[in-house]
Amino acid sequence: APASGPTITPLAQWQPVRKPQDFVLWSLFNAMYCNPFCLGFIALVFSVKARDRRTANDAASATSYGRTAKRLNIAALCLGILMTIIFIVVLSIFLRNLRP
């Protein structure tokens, strides 16, 4: 005889899926204003690839391209800041030596 008791129904909880980041705005900024060794432009290319892959629902490729774009953006920003500081220091030394 089957046992009669409470019926257990499995409940699946919905969890939001995070879309991979593409960093297009950051890449665009670096390509326009902070582009040492063309790193900002290359980051922009990878960002567009990440956005295309995200649109095509290929999360693995979008994540990979996005991660590469992020690393290139970090490198471009750090090198751009470093080059700006070096330029200001060299310019100030040059202008100080011009005065008699």
* Amino acid found at 83: M
pLDDT of residue 1: 58
* Amino acid found at 10: P
In contact, 66 and 47? CB cutoff 8 Å: yes
Q: How many domains does the chain have?
A: 1
Lowest-confidence range among 17-21, 50-54, 65-69? 17-21
Q: Is the pLDDT of residue 32 over 90?
A: yes
Domain that holds residue 80: 38-54+62-98
**Inside any domain, residue 12:** no
**Inside any domain, residue 43:** yes
pLDDT of residue 79: 96
Q: Is the pLDDT of residue 63 over 80?
A: yes
